[in-house]
A and B are shown apart, each in its own frame.
Chain A
Amino acid sequence: METTVKKKSIFYWSTEHLVIIGIFAAMIKVVTLIVSLMGGGMNPVSLFIKNGLATVILLILAVRISKPGVFILYCLVSQVVSLIFGGFLFVFLLPGTLLGACIADVFLFFVKKHLNVWTILPSVMIFDFMTKTSSLAFSFLMVRENIMMFYLGAFFIVLGYLGCLLIGIPLGIKLVKELQHAGIIRTV
Protein backbone atom coordinates (compact mmCIF):
# COMPACT_ATOMS: atom_id res chain seq x y z
CA MET A 1 0.00 0.00 0.00
CA GLU A 2 1.30 3.41 -0.94
CA THR A 3 1.29 6.16 1.64
CA THR A 4 1.41 9.80 0.62
CA VAL A 5 2.67 12.53 2.87
CA LYS A 6 1.08 15.90 2.26
CA LYS A 7 3.83 18.44 1.67
CA LYS A 8 3.41 21.66 3.63
CA SER A 9 3.04 24.80 1.53
CA ILE A 10 5.62 27.55 1.85
CA PHE A 11 2.76 29.79 2.99
CA TYR A 12 2.05 27.58 5.99
CA TRP A 13 3.39 29.01 9.24
CA SER A 14 3.59 26.78 12.29
CA THR A 15 2.91 28.20 15.75
CA GLU A 16 6.57 27.70 16.60
CA HIS A 17 7.75 29.91 13.75
CA LEU A 18 5.19 32.61 14.50
CA VAL A 19 6.09 32.68 18.19
CA ILE A 20 9.80 32.89 17.40
CA ILE A 21 9.22 35.81 15.03
CA GLY A 22 7.22 37.61 17.71
CA ILE A 23 9.81 36.96 20.40
CA PHE A 24 12.68 38.11 18.19
CA ALA A 25 10.81 41.26 17.19
CA ALA A 26 10.36 42.02 20.90
CA MET A 27 14.03 41.23 21.53
CA ILE A 28 15.22 43.66 18.85
CA LYS A 29 12.94 46.35 20.22
CA VAL A 30 14.20 45.88 23.78
CA VAL A 31 17.90 45.73 22.90
CA THR A 32 17.80 48.77 20.60
CA LEU A 33 15.72 50.71 23.14
CA ILE A 34 18.16 50.01 25.96
CA VAL A 35 21.24 50.91 23.90
CA SER A 36 19.66 54.14 22.67
CA LEU A 37 18.55 55.12 26.16
CA MET A 38 22.03 54.45 27.52
CA GLY A 39 23.62 56.44 24.72
CA GLY A 40 21.23 59.38 24.87
CA GLY A 41 19.69 59.46 21.40
CA MET A 42 21.97 61.48 19.14
CA ASN A 43 25.14 59.72 20.29
CA PRO A 44 26.91 58.27 17.20
CA VAL A 45 28.52 55.40 19.17
CA SER A 46 25.24 54.12 20.57
CA LEU A 47 23.65 54.50 17.15
CA PHE A 48 26.42 52.42 15.65
CA ILE A 49 26.09 49.67 18.28
CA LYS A 50 22.29 49.72 18.25
CA ASN A 51 22.04 49.01 14.54
CA GLY A 52 24.75 46.37 14.78
CA LEU A 53 22.88 44.51 17.52
CA ALA A 54 19.62 44.67 15.58
CA THR A 55 21.39 43.03 12.61
CA VAL A 56 22.85 40.32 14.86
CA ILE A 57 19.43 39.34 16.17
CA LEU A 58 17.89 39.54 12.70
CA LEU A 59 20.55 37.21 11.35
CA ILE A 60 19.88 34.71 14.14
CA LEU A 61 16.17 34.90 13.35
CA ALA A 62 16.78 34.38 9.63
CA VAL A 63 19.02 31.38 10.32
CA ARG A 64 16.59 29.89 12.85
CA ILE A 65 13.59 30.24 10.51
CA SER A 66 15.21 30.09 7.09
CA LYS A 67 11.96 30.22 5.18
CA PRO A 68 10.79 32.73 2.56
CA GLY A 69 8.34 35.16 4.18
CA VAL A 70 10.19 35.52 7.46
CA PHE A 71 11.33 39.06 6.66
CA ILE A 72 7.86 40.18 5.59
CA LEU A 73 6.32 38.85 8.79
CA TYR A 74 9.07 40.31 10.95
CA CYS A 75 8.74 43.65 9.17
CA LEU A 76 4.96 43.79 9.64
CA VAL A 77 5.12 42.85 13.32
CA SER A 78 8.01 45.15 14.06
CA GLN A 79 6.43 48.13 12.31
CA VAL A 80 3.11 47.69 14.07
CA VAL A 81 4.82 47.47 17.45
CA SER A 82 6.92 50.54 16.60
CA LEU A 83 3.72 52.25 15.64
CA ILE A 84 2.21 51.59 19.04
CA PHE A 85 5.19 52.32 21.25
CA GLY A 86 7.38 54.57 19.17
CA GLY A 87 5.06 56.86 17.32
CA PHE A 88 2.97 56.98 14.22
CA LEU A 89 5.82 58.35 12.16
CA PHE A 90 6.71 54.72 11.49
CA VAL A 91 3.71 54.34 9.20
CA PHE A 92 5.74 56.07 6.51
CA LEU A 93 8.65 53.67 6.87
CA LEU A 94 6.43 50.66 6.18
CA PRO A 95 6.37 50.76 2.33
CA GLY A 96 10.16 50.96 2.04
CA THR A 97 10.89 48.30 4.63
CA LEU A 98 8.18 46.04 3.21
CA LEU A 99 9.75 46.33 -0.22
CA GLY A 100 13.13 45.45 1.30
CA ALA A 101 11.58 42.49 3.09
CA CYS A 102 10.01 41.27 -0.17
CA ILE A 103 13.36 41.45 -2.00
CA ALA A 104 15.13 39.68 0.89
CA ASP A 105 12.47 36.95 0.90
CA VAL A 106 12.70 36.46 -2.86
CA PHE A 107 16.45 36.04 -2.43
CA LEU A 108 15.85 33.53 0.36
CA PHE A 109 13.42 31.65 -1.89
CA PHE A 110 16.06 31.25 -4.59
CA VAL A 111 18.76 30.03 -2.21
CA LYS A 112 16.53 27.75 -0.14
CA LYS A 113 18.18 24.63 -1.50
CA HIS A 114 21.65 25.73 -0.41
CA LEU A 115 20.89 27.23 2.96
CA ASN A 116 23.73 28.18 5.25
CA VAL A 117 24.83 31.33 7.08
CA TRP A 118 26.60 32.71 3.99
CA THR A 119 23.60 32.36 1.71
CA ILE A 120 21.24 33.87 4.29
CA LEU A 121 23.56 36.80 5.00
CA PRO A 122 22.88 38.75 1.72
CA SER A 123 19.14 38.74 2.40
CA VAL A 124 19.76 40.31 5.84
CA MET A 125 22.03 42.89 4.21
CA ILE A 126 19.42 43.69 1.55
CA PHE A 127 16.76 44.12 4.22
CA ASP A 128 18.98 46.43 6.28
CA PHE A 129 19.92 48.47 3.21
CA MET A 130 16.31 48.97 2.17
CA THR A 131 15.31 49.90 5.73
CA LYS A 132 17.96 52.58 5.82
CA THR A 133 17.02 53.84 2.36
CA SER A 134 13.39 54.19 3.36
CA SER A 135 14.50 56.04 6.51
CA LEU A 136 16.43 58.46 4.31
CA ALA A 137 13.44 59.02 2.06
CA PHE A 138 11.20 59.57 5.04
CA SER A 139 13.60 62.01 6.71
CA PHE A 140 13.63 64.02 3.48
CA LEU A 141 9.83 64.11 3.51
CA MET A 142 9.77 65.24 7.14
CA VAL A 143 12.33 68.02 7.03
CA ARG A 144 12.03 69.07 3.40
CA GLU A 145 11.82 72.76 4.38
CA ASN A 146 15.22 72.56 5.98
CA ILE A 147 17.61 70.58 3.83
CA MET A 148 20.37 70.90 6.41
CA MET A 149 18.47 68.76 8.86
CA PHE A 150 18.20 66.15 6.13
CA TYR A 151 21.98 66.03 5.71
CA LEU A 152 22.37 65.57 9.44
CA GLY A 153 19.80 62.78 9.44
CA ALA A 154 21.53 61.19 6.45
CA PHE A 155 24.81 61.21 8.35
CA PHE A 156 23.27 59.33 11.25
CA ILE A 157 21.49 56.86 8.97
CA VAL A 158 24.71 56.08 7.07
CA LEU A 159 26.47 55.66 10.41
CA GLY A 160 23.74 53.22 11.46
CA TYR A 161 24.20 51.19 8.29
CA LEU A 162 27.95 51.08 8.89
CA GLY A 163 27.13 49.67 12.33
CA CYS A 164 25.09 46.92 10.64
CA LEU A 165 28.00 46.06 8.35
CA LEU A 166 30.90 46.40 10.75
CA ILE A 167 29.43 45.13 14.02
CA GLY A 168 26.28 43.28 13.06
CA ILE A 169 27.54 40.91 10.42
CA PRO A 170 30.83 39.68 12.01
CA LEU A 171 29.24 39.37 15.46
CA GLY A 172 26.14 37.76 13.96
CA ILE A 173 28.13 35.06 12.15
CA LYS A 174 30.13 34.32 15.30
CA LEU A 175 26.98 34.12 17.41
CA VAL A 176 25.16 31.88 14.93
CA LYS A 177 28.10 29.47 14.95
CA GLU A 178 28.10 29.43 18.75
CA LEU A 179 24.38 28.73 18.86
CA GLN A 180 24.75 25.98 16.25
CA HIS A 181 27.55 24.47 18.29
CA ALA A 182 25.33 24.55 21.36
CA GLY A 183 22.60 22.79 19.37
CA ILE A 184 20.11 25.62 19.84
CA ILE A 185 19.85 26.43 16.13
CA ARG A 186 19.15 23.19 14.36
CA THR A 187 17.64 24.04 11.01
CA VAL A 188 20.74 25.14 9.04
Chain B
Amino acid sequence: MRALLEQYSQFVINLDIRTKFFIAIATSMFTIVLNHFLSLGFAFLVSFFYVLAIKQYRVVVKSYGVMIVICILAVLFSNLLIISLNWGAKITFFQSYDLIGFANSLKKSLGWEILIPFSRMFIFINVLLVVSLTFENQHFIIAMQKMHLPRCIFLPMMVCCRFIPSFLTDLKQCHDSLKIRGFKFGLISSLFSLRMMMVPFCVRTLRLADNLVMSLELRGIGNKNKTTSMYELRMTYKDYWMLGLFLVVLISLVMVQYYMQGTIKMKVMGA
Protein backbone atom coordinates (compact mmCIF):
# COMPACT_ATOMS: atom_id res chain seq x y z
CA MET B 1 0.00 0.00 0.00
CA ARG B 2 2.82 2.35 0.98
CA ALA B 3 4.69 1.54 -2.23
CA LEU B 4 1.55 2.30 -4.22
CA LEU B 5 1.16 5.66 -2.49
CA GLU B 6 4.82 6.44 -3.11
CA GLN B 7 4.38 5.57 -6.78
CA TYR B 8 1.32 7.83 -7.01
CA SER B 9 3.20 10.66 -5.30
CA GLN B 10 6.15 10.38 -7.70
CA PHE B 11 3.71 10.25 -10.60
CA VAL B 12 2.19 13.63 -9.67
CA ILE B 13 5.46 15.31 -8.65
CA ASN B 14 7.26 14.31 -11.86
CA LEU B 15 4.54 15.62 -14.14
CA ASP B 16 5.56 18.26 -16.66
CA ILE B 17 5.04 21.81 -15.42
CA ARG B 18 2.82 22.54 -18.43
CA THR B 19 0.47 19.70 -17.46
CA LYS B 20 0.20 21.00 -13.90
CA PHE B 21 -0.48 24.50 -15.19
CA PHE B 22 -3.12 23.30 -17.59
CA ILE B 23 -4.90 21.30 -14.88
CA ALA B 24 -4.82 24.24 -12.48
CA ILE B 25 -6.11 26.81 -14.97
CA ALA B 26 -8.81 24.52 -16.38
CA THR B 27 -9.99 23.59 -12.87
CA SER B 28 -10.17 27.24 -11.85
CA MET B 29 -12.23 28.12 -14.88
CA PHE B 30 -14.51 25.12 -14.62
CA THR B 31 -15.19 25.47 -10.89
CA ILE B 32 -16.70 28.92 -11.46
CA VAL B 33 -19.51 27.28 -13.45
CA LEU B 34 -20.30 24.65 -10.79
CA ASN B 35 -22.86 25.75 -8.22
CA HIS B 36 -24.28 22.57 -6.73
CA PHE B 37 -23.08 21.14 -3.43
CA LEU B 38 -22.66 17.65 -4.80
CA SER B 39 -20.64 18.63 -7.87
CA LEU B 40 -18.48 21.00 -5.81
CA GLY B 41 -18.02 18.32 -3.15
CA PHE B 42 -16.94 15.81 -5.78
CA ALA B 43 -14.51 18.36 -7.30
CA PHE B 44 -13.11 19.04 -3.83
CA LEU B 45 -12.58 15.34 -3.13
CA VAL B 46 -10.74 14.78 -6.40
CA SER B 47 -8.58 17.88 -5.94
CA PHE B 48 -7.86 16.86 -2.34
CA PHE B 49 -6.64 13.46 -3.54
CA TYR B 50 -4.47 15.32 -6.07
CA VAL B 51 -2.91 17.63 -3.46
CA LEU B 52 -2.19 14.74 -1.07
CA ALA B 53 0.24 13.36 -3.65
CA ILE B 54 2.82 16.07 -2.91
CA LYS B 55 2.98 14.81 0.71
CA GLN B 56 3.35 18.27 2.26
CA TYR B 57 0.56 17.72 4.77
CA ARG B 58 1.62 20.52 7.11
CA VAL B 59 1.43 23.15 4.35
CA VAL B 60 -1.96 21.83 3.25
CA VAL B 61 -3.32 21.99 6.81
CA LYS B 62 -1.92 25.53 7.26
CA SER B 63 -3.50 26.72 4.00
CA TYR B 64 -6.85 25.24 5.03
CA GLY B 65 -6.48 26.93 8.41
CA VAL B 66 -5.92 30.33 6.75
CA MET B 67 -8.93 29.75 4.49
CA ILE B 68 -11.13 28.83 7.45
CA VAL B 69 -10.03 32.00 9.30
CA ILE B 70 -10.90 34.07 6.21
CA CYS B 71 -14.33 32.37 6.04
CA ILE B 72 -14.99 33.13 9.72
CA LEU B 73 -13.87 36.74 9.27
CA ALA B 74 -16.15 37.14 6.26
CA VAL B 75 -19.15 35.79 8.20
CA LEU B 76 -18.29 38.07 11.14
CA PHE B 77 -18.07 41.12 8.88
CA SER B 78 -21.35 40.13 7.25
CA ASN B 79 -23.08 40.00 10.64
CA LEU B 80 -21.52 43.35 11.52
CA LEU B 81 -23.04 44.78 8.34
CA ILE B 82 -26.49 43.43 9.29
CA ILE B 83 -26.21 45.02 12.74
CA SER B 84 -25.16 48.37 11.26
CA LEU B 85 -28.00 48.24 8.71
CA ASN B 86 -30.56 47.63 11.47
CA TRP B 87 -28.98 50.45 13.47
CA GLY B 88 -28.93 52.77 10.45
CA ALA B 89 -32.65 52.13 9.80
CA LYS B 90 -33.46 53.94 13.06
CA ILE B 91 -31.83 57.17 11.84
CA THR B 92 -34.36 59.59 10.33
CA PHE B 93 -32.20 60.37 7.31
CA PHE B 94 -32.22 56.73 6.14
CA GLN B 95 -35.86 55.98 6.90
CA SER B 96 -36.95 56.49 3.29
CA TYR B 97 -34.69 53.53 2.33
CA ASP B 98 -35.74 49.95 3.10
CA LEU B 99 -32.65 49.12 5.12
CA ILE B 100 -34.38 46.54 7.32
CA GLY B 101 -35.69 44.65 4.29
CA PHE B 102 -32.21 44.69 2.84
CA ALA B 103 -30.71 43.46 6.12
CA ASN B 104 -33.28 40.63 6.28
CA SER B 105 -32.57 39.51 2.74
CA LEU B 106 -28.87 39.53 3.53
CA LYS B 107 -29.47 37.55 6.71
CA LYS B 108 -31.30 34.91 4.70
CA SER B 109 -28.30 34.50 2.39
CA LEU B 110 -26.06 33.71 5.37
CA GLY B 111 -27.37 30.14 5.53
CA TRP B 112 -25.79 27.07 4.00
CA GLU B 113 -25.45 28.87 0.66
CA ILE B 114 -22.46 30.76 2.03
CA LEU B 115 -20.48 27.52 1.82
CA ILE B 116 -20.64 27.47 -2.00
CA PRO B 117 -18.19 30.33 -2.70
CA PHE B 118 -15.83 29.05 -0.02
CA SER B 119 -15.87 25.50 -1.32
CA ARG B 120 -14.70 26.92 -4.68
CA MET B 121 -11.77 28.56 -2.88
CA PHE B 122 -10.73 25.23 -1.33
CA ILE B 123 -10.64 23.61 -4.77
CA PHE B 124 -8.48 26.48 -6.08
CA ILE B 125 -6.13 26.10 -3.12
CA ASN B 126 -5.71 22.37 -3.78
CA VAL B 127 -4.71 22.76 -7.43
CA LEU B 128 -2.56 25.79 -6.68
CA LEU B 129 -0.59 24.02 -3.94
CA VAL B 130 0.44 21.27 -6.33
CA VAL B 131 1.92 23.84 -8.74
CA SER B 132 3.48 26.09 -6.09
CA LEU B 133 5.08 23.35 -4.01
CA THR B 134 6.59 21.50 -6.96
CA PHE B 135 7.59 24.65 -8.84
CA GLU B 136 11.16 24.97 -10.14
CA ASN B 137 12.32 28.22 -11.67
CA GLN B 138 14.56 26.52 -14.22
CA HIS B 139 11.76 24.30 -15.50
CA PHE B 140 9.41 27.25 -15.76
CA ILE B 141 11.92 29.19 -17.86
CA ILE B 142 12.47 26.24 -20.21
CA ALA B 143 8.71 25.72 -20.48
CA MET B 144 8.28 29.36 -21.48
CA GLN B 145 11.04 29.03 -24.09
CA LYS B 146 9.41 25.90 -25.47
CA MET B 147 6.06 27.67 -25.72
CA HIS B 148 7.77 30.22 -28.03
CA LEU B 149 6.63 33.20 -26.00
CA PRO B 150 7.87 36.54 -27.38
CA ARG B 151 11.00 38.00 -25.78
CA CYS B 152 9.13 41.05 -24.51
CA ILE B 153 6.96 38.81 -22.29
CA PHE B 154 9.42 36.07 -21.51
CA LEU B 155 12.29 38.27 -20.30
CA PRO B 156 10.40 40.43 -17.73
CA MET B 157 8.63 37.33 -16.44
CA MET B 158 11.93 35.55 -15.90
CA VAL B 159 13.41 38.60 -14.14
CA CYS B 160 10.30 38.95 -11.97
CA CYS B 161 10.32 35.31 -10.83
CA ARG B 162 14.05 35.48 -10.13
CA PHE B 163 14.01 38.69 -8.07
CA ILE B 164 11.02 38.22 -5.77
CA PRO B 165 13.10 36.36 -3.11
CA SER B 166 16.00 38.87 -3.36
CA PHE B 167 13.68 41.84 -2.80
CA LEU B 168 12.44 40.36 0.46
CA THR B 169 16.05 40.47 1.72
CA ASP B 170 16.51 44.03 0.33
CA LEU B 171 13.45 45.31 2.17
CA LYS B 172 14.73 43.75 5.37
CA GLN B 173 18.05 45.56 4.88
CA CYS B 174 16.26 48.91 4.37
CA HIS B 175 14.27 48.23 7.54
CA ASP B 176 17.44 47.38 9.48
CA SER B 177 19.22 50.52 8.27
CA LEU B 178 16.35 52.65 9.56
CA LYS B 179 16.55 50.84 12.89
CA ILE B 180 20.30 51.46 13.10
CA ARG B 181 19.65 55.19 12.67
CA GLY B 182 17.34 55.01 15.67
CA PHE B 183 13.96 55.13 13.92
CA LYS B 184 11.24 53.64 16.10
CA PHE B 185 8.46 51.84 14.27
CA GLY B 186 5.04 52.55 15.72
CA LEU B 187 1.50 52.80 14.39
CA ILE B 188 1.76 56.41 13.17
CA SER B 189 5.52 56.55 12.59
CA SER B 190 5.20 53.52 10.26
CA LEU B 191 3.06 55.65 7.95
CA PHE B 192 5.82 58.29 7.84
CA SER B 193 8.43 55.59 7.32
CA LEU B 194 6.82 54.62 3.99
CA ARG B 195 8.80 57.29 2.15
CA MET B 196 11.97 56.50 4.04
CA MET B 197 11.66 52.86 3.09
CA MET B 198 10.54 53.43 -0.49
CA VAL B 199 13.23 55.90 -1.65
CA PRO B 200 16.28 53.70 -0.85
CA PHE B 201 14.41 50.65 -2.06
CA CYS B 202 13.62 52.28 -5.42
CA VAL B 203 17.17 53.60 -5.83
CA ARG B 204 18.57 50.17 -5.04
CA THR B 205 16.18 48.52 -7.47
CA LEU B 206 16.94 50.89 -10.34
CA ARG B 207 20.70 50.45 -9.82
CA LEU B 208 20.22 46.69 -9.77
CA ALA B 209 18.28 46.92 -13.03
CA ASP B 210 21.15 48.82 -14.69
CA ASN B 211 23.71 46.25 -13.56
CA LEU B 212 21.51 43.39 -14.64
CA VAL B 213 20.97 44.87 -18.10
CA MET B 214 24.72 45.23 -18.66
CA SER B 215 25.29 41.68 -17.48
CA LEU B 216 22.51 40.28 -19.70
CA GLU B 217 23.69 42.16 -22.77
CA LEU B 218 27.21 40.83 -22.25
CA ARG B 219 25.85 37.29 -22.05
CA GLY B 220 24.07 37.75 -25.37
CA ILE B 221 20.43 37.95 -24.28
CA GLY B 222 19.64 40.05 -27.35
CA ASN B 223 20.93 37.30 -29.62
CA LYS B 224 18.24 36.37 -32.15
CA ASN B 225 19.73 32.92 -32.89
CA LYS B 226 18.33 29.74 -31.35
CA THR B 227 19.77 28.89 -27.94
CA THR B 228 20.00 25.54 -26.13
CA SER B 229 19.23 24.68 -22.50
CA MET B 230 21.11 22.60 -20.01
CA TYR B 231 17.95 20.74 -18.93
CA GLU B 232 15.55 18.96 -21.22
CA LEU B 233 11.80 19.27 -20.66
CA ARG B 234 9.56 16.80 -22.43
CA MET B 235 5.95 15.63 -22.14
CA THR B 236 5.91 11.90 -21.31
CA TYR B 237 3.18 9.24 -21.37
CA LYS B 238 2.50 10.09 -17.69
CA ASP B 239 1.39 13.58 -18.69
CA TYR B 240 -0.98 12.24 -21.32
CA TRP B 241 -2.39 9.77 -18.78
CA MET B 242 -2.96 12.56 -16.32
CA LEU B 243 -4.62 14.79 -18.90
CA GLY B 244 -6.90 11.91 -19.91
CA LEU B 245 -7.82 11.29 -16.29
CA PHE B 246 -8.50 14.98 -15.84
CA LEU B 247 -10.83 14.97 -18.84
CA VAL B 248 -12.75 12.03 -17.35
CA VAL B 249 -13.15 13.94 -14.07
CA LEU B 250 -14.40 17.02 -15.93
CA ILE B 251 -16.98 14.99 -17.83
CA SER B 252 -18.20 13.33 -14.62
CA LEU B 253 -18.49 16.75 -12.97
CA VAL B 254 -20.61 18.01 -15.87
CA MET B 255 -22.84 14.94 -15.52
CA VAL B 256 -23.22 15.36 -11.76
CA GLN B 257 -24.10 19.03 -12.18
CA TYR B 258 -26.50 18.29 -15.06
CA TYR B 259 -28.42 15.57 -13.22
CA MET B 260 -28.59 17.53 -10.01
CA GLN B 261 -29.89 20.73 -11.49
CA GLY B 262 -31.23 19.87 -14.91
CA THR B 263 -28.92 22.29 -16.65
CA ILE B 264 -25.69 24.20 -16.06
CA LYS B 265 -26.53 27.81 -15.68
CA MET B 266 -25.14 30.83 -13.95
CA LYS B 267 -27.37 31.24 -10.94
CA VAL B 268 -27.55 34.91 -10.10
CA MET B 269 -28.93 35.97 -6.76
CA GLY B 270 -32.43 37.26 -7.11
CA ALA B 271 -32.75 36.18 -10.77
Interface residues of A in 100-157 (CB under 8 A from B): 141-149, 151-152
How many inter-chain residue pairs (CB < 8 Å) link A and B? 183
Asked if B61 CB lies within 8 Å of chain A CBs, one says no
Contact yes or no, A148 B160, CB < 8 A:
no
Q: With contacts A88-B24, A147-B106, A152-B74 known, is A21 near B156, CB below 8 A?
A: yes
Contact yes or no, B155 A19, CB < 8 A:
yes
Residue interface mask A153-188, B partner, CB < 8 A = 1: 000000000000001000100110011001011000
A22 surroundings in chain B (CB, below 8 A) = 155-160, 163
Asked if B263 CB lies within 8 Å of chain A CBs, one says no
Contact yes or no, B132 A73, CB < 8 A:
no
Q: With contacts A91-B25, A152-B81 known, is A20 near B117, CB below 8 A?
A: no
**Complex-state Cα separation, A144 to B116, whole angstroms:** 10
Partner of B159, one of A23, A84, A91: A23
**Complex-state Cα separation, A76 to B144, whole angstroms:** 14
- Tell me whether chain B's interface is mostly helix, strand or loop, or mixed: helix
Q: Which of B5-13, B192-200, B247-255 contacts A (4 or more CB under 8 A)?
A: B192-200
A27 surroundings in chain B (CB, below 8 A) = 167, 201-202, 205
Interface residues of B in 181-211 (CB under 8 A from A): 191, 194-195, 198-199, 201-203, 205-210
**Complex-state Cα separation, A145 to B109, whole angstroms:** 8
A141 surroundings in chain B (CB, below 8 A) = 32
Contact yes or no, B131 A84, CB < 8 A:
yes
**Residues of B in contact with A (beta carbons under 8 Å apart):** 24-25, 27-29, 32, 35, 70, 73-74, 77-78, 81, 106, 109-110, 113-114, 116-117, 120, 124-125, 127-128, 131-132, 135, 140, 151-153, 155-164, 167-168, 171, 191, 194-195, 198-199, 201-203, 205-210, 212-213, 216-217, 221-222, 266-270
Beyond the given A19-B155, A89-B124, A149-B117, please list 19 additional residue pairs across the A-B interface where CB-CB is below 8 A: A15-B216, A15-B217, A22-B157, A22-B160, A22-B163, A23-B209, A31-B171, A34-B171, A42-B73, A84-B131, A84-B140, A91-B25, A142-B120, A144-B268, A147-B270, A148-B106, A149-B74, A178-B199, A184-B207
> 12 A-B contacts, Cβ less than 8 Å apart?
A19-B209, A20-B206, A22-B156, A22-B157, A27-B167, A29-B160, A29-B164, A34-B171, A42-B73, A60-B202, A92-B28, A184-B202
